[in-house]
Chains A and B, each alone.
Chain A
Amino acid sequence: MAQKIVIDPITRIEGHLRIEVEVDGGKVVDARAAGTLWRGFEVILEGRDPRDAGVITQRICGVCPAEHAHASVQNLDMAFGAEVPDNGRIIRNLVAGSNFVASHILHFYHLAALDYLDIMAIAGYKGSSPELLKVKDKIVGLVKTGDTSPLTPRYNPDQFCVNDPEIVTTAVYHYIQALEMRKKGQEMLAIFGGKMPHHTTFVAGGVTIQPTPDRIAAFRSRLLELIDFVNNVYLKDVLLFGTGPLKPIHDAKIGFGCGNFLAYGNFDQGKSGDYTNRFLKSGTIFGGNIGQVNPLDPNKIAEYVKYSWYKDSGTGKHPSEGETNPEPTKEGAYSWLKAPRYDNQPMEVGPLARMLVTQDKGFMDLVTKVGAWPSAVARHAARAYECKMVAEGMLNWLGELKPGKPVCNEKAVPQSGKGMGLVEAARGALGHFVEIENGKSKRYQCVVPTTWNCSPRDDKGVKGPVEQALIGAPVPDPKNPLNVVRIVRSFDPCIACAVHLIHPETNEILKFRVI
């Protein structure tokens, strides 16, 4: 058999979000977020049985597929006129909640934390904790083999990186624990989702799985361990980092966003699909005025395409009337993402938006105490508070399940109808919109979280939230754009991302894969 030389696994679609920043005087002066791949799911769904949407749209993402299923069934509930029984509503919440908890833990420990740690500091650990000594031995062993992945390399540590040996070694120990914890979250999801990823139990009208006592018990035992971890490890680490060694990053306002926040809310508490009655609330905040939360009005959503590779005739439309007509040669365009706007404003979505809109007490107290402002560090803090809130919320919902009662109110596919499913994925507001004609999907539109956060400029030239957040970021060494990476990652983008840096003096394009 042939020996291989070059291998490039094609499977995991990577590198389809590109961030270009222009650096001048050691700071970012301009930024463009460009989706480099046409997703096309909307086109795939046209003309298909509407019930296919949940199966197909879960394939948009390997990280939060559960929420695509959630959005698609809420969308169909409305179009089919199906009232979801309580058990169905609660099981959907438990599946979605498991995904939140697993995703947040993964994001902090396995994706983001390493941007803030100088791993080599572990060599200097002088303590006597057996667990931490084991971590030290492991890392020192890896260094000797010359391959310290998965922990390194990233970028060269900068002045903001934590290099206290005890803190760094503990963080890596928690990284290992977090792998176990995240796994429990996925197992919980599979208990009521059938499998993870791409679970199979959500249908229009409810779910296809019964809340049997053994499933409830299996879910609960894992959840209790997770709650303990979230409260005593995750949240503590985030607070320790955010108010201690990483306070300077926060105070430097690195990753300050657009100041507008949008949340559809998640985890229905009454009637399924009623976004005014949710555990994580729906609403909007403008101009950083976090004391004033405005009610959500989905009619104010529109998508603009002046800077996107779509025909201009489709600009400014509500997603329920949205068009997906590509024009890859369009002059001036630079992204395959459209630019969604709410009331003509770019909106940040995600945990920070949700915690501010929900006005979660723990998080709001922190905001008051340390003067938290929409920075990269604040996004991590919001994510940790939300993880605690959702994990503890699930314990209550579990107690509301009624074994033996209905889980689904099945309805036939209607000849015609319109639907809208607004939920939250771990990384932000997610909307699915369907129009059914002759029993088939005539139109299907998905507006995903990263389309909001990483949107290009809109028709008025206003930059998207991530583009705005990058402006002013300190980049003392263009070859080591750690702050750019930190900012982009703090939004937990749902598409992989590459950073291109343009340095005006050399006009050299340096490519960094942050992915």
Chain B
Amino acid sequence: MNRILILGVGNVLLKDEGIGVHVIGAMERMLLPNNVKLVNGGVSGIDLLEVIEEADKLIIVDAIDAGDRPGTVFRFNADEVKGQLREHKTSLHQVDLFDTLKIARFLDRCPETVIIGIQPKDISWGMELTPDLASLVPRIIDLVICEIHDSASLN
């Protein structure tokens, strides 16, 4: 069976920046098929390699600054943004999520990846989402569920 990984990433100390993690928290209360795994990726980068490489399909939920209206939701494949996500560099601090996806690709272990990105409204200190983004969580979950279904129908 297709192993599907829902990976929510973000910093929960910075309000809407933590949207991915909040989505995972909400989904943890749902009944999901056995082949679906939820992971709160926090601010990790390369630590996620081991969970990523074990999946056949990866759905990433993250805050994305695309300069758009707060609450705008984007969906794209990792391939669509190849080489555009950031200038090439390697962190002194850590290898971040997108470097990690590239490493997984280098190892031939990168699953099919879909990214659901949400434009944040406020990323100042605070552990709660802004009301605008909090009200979006059910819609984001629906999108994630659609991805799970797409993947199941392909299977």
Contacts and interface: CB of A to CB of B under 8 A. Distances in A.
- Between B10, B12, B91, the greatest number of chain A beta carbons within 10 A of the residue's beta carbon is seen for B91
B92 A1 contact: no
B127 to A, nearest CB: 10
Contact of A11 (B82, B87, B97, B106): B97
A412 interface: no
Interface string A1-27: 111111111111110010000000000
A402 interface: no
A239 interface: no
Interface stretch (B29-37, B69-77, B129-137): B69-77
A157 interface: no
A197 B88 contact: no
A14 B47 contact: no
Contacts of B63: 9-11
B50 A1 contact: no
B94 A11 contact: no
Contacts of A183: 49-50
A430 to B, nearest CB: 16
Interface in A133-187: 138, 142, 147, 149-154, 176, 179, 182-183, 186-187
B113 interface: no
A59 B43 CA distance: 8
B6 to A, nearest CB: 16
Contacts of B120: 10
B140 interface: no
Given A44-B125, A62-B45, A493-B92, A1 B75 contact: yes
A290 B121 CA distance: 54
Given A11-B63, A14-B91, A179-B49, A40 B125 contact: yes
Number of chain A interface residues as a range: 35 or more
Contacts of B76: 3-4
A479 to B, nearest CB: 15
Given A4-B66, A10-B63, A514 B89 contact: yes
A110 B89 CA distance: 12
Given A6-B67, A149-B102, A187-B50, A488 B13 contact: no
Interface string A248-283: 000000000000000000000000000000000000
A11 B66 contact: no
Interface stretch (A69-77, A322-330, A432-440, A494-502): A494-502
A9 B86 contact: yes
Contacts of A142: 106
Given A9-B98, A106-B46, A150-B102, A495 B93 contact: yes
B103 to A, nearest CB: 5
B111 interface: no
Nearest to A56: B13
A13 B98 CA distance: 14
Contact of A7 (B13, B46, B85): B85
Contacts of B49: 179, 183
Contact of A13 (B11, B74, B103, B117): B11
A513 interface: yes
Interface string A97-114: 000000000100011001
B134 to A, nearest CB: 18
A17 B64 CA distance: 23
B47 A196 contact: yes
Contacts of A44: 13, 125
Contacts of A114: 90
Interface string B37-66: 000001111110110000000000011111
A7 B85 CA distance: 6
Nearest to B10: A11
Contacts of B117: 4, 7
Contact of B92 (A3, A151, A515): A515
A492 B92 contact: yes
B84 A496 contact: no
B141 interface: no
Given A2-B68, A59-B13, A197 B92 contact: no
Given A62-B47, A514-B89, A2 B74 contact: yes
A418 interface: no
A59 B85 contact: no
B154 interface: no
Nearest to A139: B106
B5 interface: no
Contacts of B103: 150, 179
A113 to B, nearest CB: 10
Interface string A38-69: 00100010000000000010010011000000
A338 interface: no
A436 to B, nearest CB: 22
A306 interface: no
A7 B123 CA distance: 16
B1 interface: no
A198 interface: yes
A380 interface: no
Nearest to A138: B106
Interface in B92-116: 92-99, 102-103, 106-107
A63 B98 contact: no
14 contacts: A7-B65, A7-B117, A9-B86, A9-B96, A12-B45, A14-B91, A150-B95, A150-B99, A152-B88, A488-B92, A496-B93, A497-B93, A514-B89, A515-B91
**Which are the 8 A-B pairs with shortest beta-carbon distances?**
A496-B93, A12-B96, A515-B91, A62-B43, A8-B65, A150-B102, A513-B89, A497-B92
Given A17-B92, A179-B107, 12 more contacts: A4-B66, A8-B65, A9-B63, A10-B63, A11-B17, A11-B97, A13-B43, A62-B45, A62-B94, A149-B106, A150-B106, A197-B47
